Structure 1
Amino acid sequence: MTLSGRLSVRVAAVCVAVGAAFAPAARAADPVTLNIVDVAGDLQLTQKGFEAFKAKYPNLVSNITFTNAPAPQLPGKIKAMQAAGRSDIDLVLTGTDALAAGIEQNLWEKLLPDHAAVFPGVLDNYAPGPRKMQDLAQGYGLEVAYMPAGPLLEYNPAKVTDPPKTPEQLLQWCKAHPNKLIYARPANSGPGRTFLMGLPYVLGDKDPQDPIHGWDKTWAFLKQLNDCVPYYPGGTSAVMKELGEGTRDMTVTVTGWDINPRALGIVPAEFRVQAFDNMTWVNDAHYMVIPKGVPKDKLDVLYKLMNFMLEPAQQALTYDDGYFYPGPAIKGVTVEQAPAQSQAVLKKFGRPEYAKLLADHPHVLPLSAAAMVAAFQKWDREVGAAKTK
């Protein structure tokens, strides 16, 4: 090559390098729209956090749509979408019910350990009780809210002067006051399933973690109780409405479903709760899960969003109005960090006795995914079949 030729090549190379240096950067991906479906009532705790993420990162999220749906119907809907190659739902907020059903049907994206790099230290940030609940997700979701739930009885003190302290006393009261006790279908009710899962401990069944072979006393008790229960609503809200209106005098509840309806005026503030003498707390949690099939551009945003929801500022919002008491899942988030309204509600409608009850009685995890699905199916088939609405 001649000298002039070599100079031409060098000049061309320099021009290319300079051109690359001053060329506009590759266009960032367009902001995405996210569709979040809630089957646990979790948006009451978290919607403000999701909206804060959208406000902070308009370059990532253009819009978030929020939809509520019944937990029992969601797995079938997602399975049908996945079979059709569609991805209409980007994030699901669920309790242990749809979490379990989705794990059983292989509907959820595996987050841990598969994507541990994008969730650094997440498991170490959970408080001890929530950390155990996180194990129930089997890596398919991240816990976003926590409640040491129940089971508890809630009653109208004007109508129930001597509240039951044992399941036997509850059965006797129910028979003496037919149609005055009500609870919702466990497959779509936190209080309903907590009652279902707590009974084997109180009744002394041989294996509280095996609803098919270890719950002889529980199933016998529920079938007897069925005779004096008028019907089983499809969700807890209907139960609280009837309790508040005076149609019923007693129901089963959990800490959050005791505090929040009274704070909202659905249930009178003076209504009381009673724990069984030898109760065991069955804890509860809400989870963020991603259905399989969500495209990668959305997955990257969702991972960032999930990390954001586990930061202290967003976790403090989960104190809410006592709906999922206390609420936060990560360490060190105190009620003093909660919004002023949350602090005022809990001061007025919280129960001073909860601290002692939570300290004095043992705590256990809910059933595993497979066992929970089996328990729901057996209850639907053998207890609630003729009375569920």
Structure 2
Amino acid sequence: MRLSSKLAARCGALALAISAFAASGGAWADGPVSLNVVDVAGNLALTQKAFEAFHAKYPNLVSNINFTNAPAPQLPGKIKAMQAAGRSDIDIVLTGTDALAAGIEQNLWMKLLPDHDKQFPGVLDKYAPGPRKMQDLAQGDGLEVTYMPAGPLLEYNPAHVSDPPKTPAQLLAWCTAHPDKLIYARPANSGPGRAFLMGLPYLLGDKDPRDPVHGWDKTWAFLKQLNTCIPYYPGGTAAVMKELGEGSRDMTVTVTGWDINPRALGIVPAEFRVQAFDTMSWVDDAHFMVVPKGVPAEKLDVIYKLMNFLLAPPQQAMTYDDGYFYPGPAVKDVPLSSAPAHSQEVLKKYGRPEYAQMIADHPHVVPLDSKEMVAAFQKWDQEVGAQKSK
């Protein structure tokens, strides 16, 4: 007995729908979903407008997006407790390499690639060469959304520093001669602090720059010496820039974005300068989108669509922002000329023409892998930072 053509068509449509249903994880939302996004990297400065553009474009998929900021060191423990309780209060985390690494070590994040690679067609080919290397740090647990060839650099007040250090030895000598005038933030919660920590083994010629426990003898010895002339270690970079701008400190370690953006915002005087170390290697940095395990299945298709949206060139062009994570875009073929006019104006006024040559002249390295990065943070906390609280 033959089915009518109309019934056959309906059956065919149903079969396609069931196939799509299964491919998406087996759940559909009854209507628009509410998404909770937690930012532990300051990434919303670069991407919030893109999130809002997605909400505006797809009101049938998203009813609202709630944004929250949190300190990177505290988030993994919170998510672990949440998952142990069978709760899912966070749908997307925007993180730097710090909480990314901690979450990988604690098995907190969904495995996006290759487990769900059909949801992200050709995504790895979209990344520019530098960002592509950074993407490997996620080990498939996240997708890189912004990129910065970071540092370490020194930022200083030229009215008080006439001959900025160009080597770690000169930095130590300057700090010893000017106690309490150099400051940097705890590396576990600071991009500049992290770049400085991971850049020193290359500058000092340590035995193994990828092994902070057994290969950084020179680095740990240097940091302990430097500790004697540093007043304390703020919990984040914003506090460092505030003190630098107010004049209570004359120098700090920085990265490209944390140099440009505070000057654009008027927190640090525009005339402050940066100095690269003579034999530096750029320790690149990136922000990632990760999804905690336990997110309801009916939200995942929307989350995947949102992630792809954020990686499209029009949204990537927004990440030039006010120079906060300079340059910003992680994907190919997103020139500054495609950025919003305001971003172009800010970078023309507060960007540094010398950065292009500096980025080209010095080698680039990726940050430590997750296990080693966590070990480096713990060792710094115990052997360097903790000494100031005794």
Query: Is TM (by shorter chain) over 0.5?
Result: yes
Deviation of the 1:123 alpha carbon: 0.1
CA-CA distance at 1:29 after TM superposition: 2.3
Q: How does 1:37-186 map to 2 (within 5 A)?
A: 37-186=38-187
Output one character per residue of 1:280-326: Cα deviation in whole Å (capped at 9) or x when no partner: 00000000000000011111110000000000000000000000000
String of CA shifts for 1:182-235, please: whole Å, max 9, x gaps.
000000000000000000000000100000000000000000000000000000
> Equivalences for 1:1-389 in 2 at 5 Å?
29-387=30-388
CA contact (8 A) 2:147 2:330 kept: yes
Q: Distance in 2 between matches of 1:17 and 1:53?
A: 37
Shift in Å at residue 374 of structure 1?
A: 0.1
Aligned AA (2:93): V
Q: 1:136 to 1:388 in 2, by over 3 A?
A: farther
Deviations, residues 30-62 of structure 1 (Å, cap 9, x unaligned): 100000000000000000000000000001000
Whole-Å separation in 1 of the counterparts to 2:166 and 2:379: 26
Q: C-alpha offsets along residues 238-271 of structure 1, whole Å, 9 cap, x if unaligned? A: 0000000000000000000000000000000000
Matched-pair contact (CA < 8 Å) for 1:148–1:281: yes
| TM-score, normalised relative to structure 2 | 0.93
Instruction: Kindly indicate whether the alpha-carbon contact (under 8 Å) linking 2:167 and 2:277 is maintained by their aligned counterparts in 1.
Output: yes
User: Cα–Cα, structure 1 residues 371 and 160, in superposed 2: closer, same or farther, change >3 Å?
Assistant: same
Residues 131-172 of structure 1 show CA distances to partners (whole Å, capped at 9, x for unaligned) of 000000000000000000000000000000000000000000
Matched residues in 2 for 1:91 and 1:352: separation?
35
One-letter identity of the residue aligned with 1:199: L
Give the superposed CA RMSD.
2.0
CA distance in 2, matches of 1:89, 1:118: 20
Q: Which amino acid aligns with 1:42?
A: N
Query: Partners of 2:80 and 2:29 in 1: how far apart?
Result: 32
Contact 1:241 1:266 in 2 (8 A): yes
Q: Which residue of 1 aligns with 2:14?
A: none
Identity %: 81
Deviation by residue 1:77-131 (Cα, 9 ceiling, x = unmatched):
0000000000000000000000000000000000000001010000000000000
What is the CA-CA distance between 1:17 and the residue it aligns to?
Answer: 5.6
Partners in 2 of 1:347 and 1:297 — Cα distance? Answer: 44
- Give ranges in structure 1 of 5+ residues lacking alignment: 1-9
CA distance in 1, matches of 2:123, 2:357: 30
Counterpart Cα distance in 1 of 2:37 and 2:326? 23
Structure 1 contact 232–388 (Cα < 8 Å) conserved: no
Confirm or deny: 8 A CA contact 1:107 1:292 kept in the other structure.
yes
Distance 2:338 2:7 in 1: 53
Q: Does the 8 Å CA contact 1:185/1:388 hold for their aligned counterparts? A: no
Gaps of 5+ in 2: 12-16, 19-27
Letter in structure 1 aligned against 2:318: L
Number of aligned residues: 374
Contact 1:232-1:384 at 8 Å conserved across structures:
yes
TM-score (norm 1): 0.93
Q: Structure 1 CA distance, aligned partners of 2:263 and 2:43?
A: 18
SS at match of 1:201: helix
Structure number with larger C-alpha Rg: 1
CA distance in 1, matches of 2:173, 2:265: 32
Indicate conservation of the 8 Å contact 1:100/1:373, yes or no. yes
Please state whether the residue corresponding to 2:229 is helix, strand or coil: coil
| Counterpart residue type for residue 237 of structure 1 | A
The amino acid that maps onto 1:253 is T
Measure, in 2, the Cα distance between the counterparts of 1:114 and 1:268: 48
- The answer as to whether partners of 1:35 and 1:90 remain within 8 angstroms in 2 is yes
Alpha-carbon distance change, 388 to 55 in structure 1, aligned in 2, over 3 angstroms: farther
2-structure distance, mates of 1:273, 1:29: 53
Secondary structure, in 3 states, of the residue corresponding to 1:385? helix
Task: State the SS of the aligned residue for 2:294.
Answer: coil
- Which residue identity lines up with residue 182 of structure 1 in the other structure? I
Q: Distance in 2 between matches of 1:126 and 1:100?
A: 20
Aligned to 1:7: none
Runs of 4 or more, structure 1, over 3 Å off, are 25-28
Residues 29, 298 of structure 2: 8 Å contact kept: no
What letter corresponds to residue 286 of structure 1 in structure 2? Answer: H
CA distance in 1: counterparts of 2:75 and 2:388, whole angstroms: 22
Letter in 1 for 2:223: L
Q: How far apart are 1:387 and its partner, in Å?
A: 2.7
SS of the residue aligned with 1:227?
A: helix
Q: Which amino acid counterpart does residue 247 of structure 1 have in structure 2?
A: S
Distance 2:369 2:389 in 1: 24
